[in-house]
Amino acid sequence: MSALQEFPVLTLEDVVVLPGMVVPIELDEPARAAVDAARTSNEDRLLVAPRLEDRYATHGVVATIQQVGRLPRGGSGAVIRAEQRAHIQGGVPGPGAALWVEAEILEDSPASERVRELAAEYKGLVIAVLQKRNAWQVIDSIQRLSDPSALADSAGCVISQPRAET
């Protein structure tokens, strides 16, 4: 078990953020508070979690703020890079207006032979979907993956992307 760490929380609606993703976000007031807290007191790191209607999320992704600036439409925005899964333990006090939580960074466990077999089968399905979308550059990067966790995260990122025009 890794030591608990404290993070400001950035909650997002209708967006799934997985390790390895680079995501632009619009900064509304709560998002601005989380980004400001991360930039001033947490080495540009925050915890990204889904915004749920009736409860707080139990898991999220630790992310690093890559850039803060203006979006093409003129509003404030930030670019974050998701890095590691985390299990949220509970709220804690922290500086600024942001919601803070204590979280445990989750390490990937070694994959069993059965998991590797299933991952290879899944990779074939993902590649078939990407071929139908003419996503040849993405196919090359997916084919190079051998770690089941990295494959699941990468496939989750690319399958949700809009279809390429033919």
| pLDDT over threshold 90, residue 152 | no
Distance CA 42, CA 40 (A): 6
Distance CA 118, CA 140 (A): 20
pLDDT of res. 145: 86
Distance CA 155, CA 164 (A): 16
The 10s digit of each residue's pLDDT in 86-106 is 999 999 998 888 999 999 999
Distance CA 84, CA 100 (A): 17
Q: Is the pTM above the cut of 0.85?
A: no
- Domains with residue ranges and CATH for the chain: 4-105 (2.30.130.40), 113-159 (no CATH)
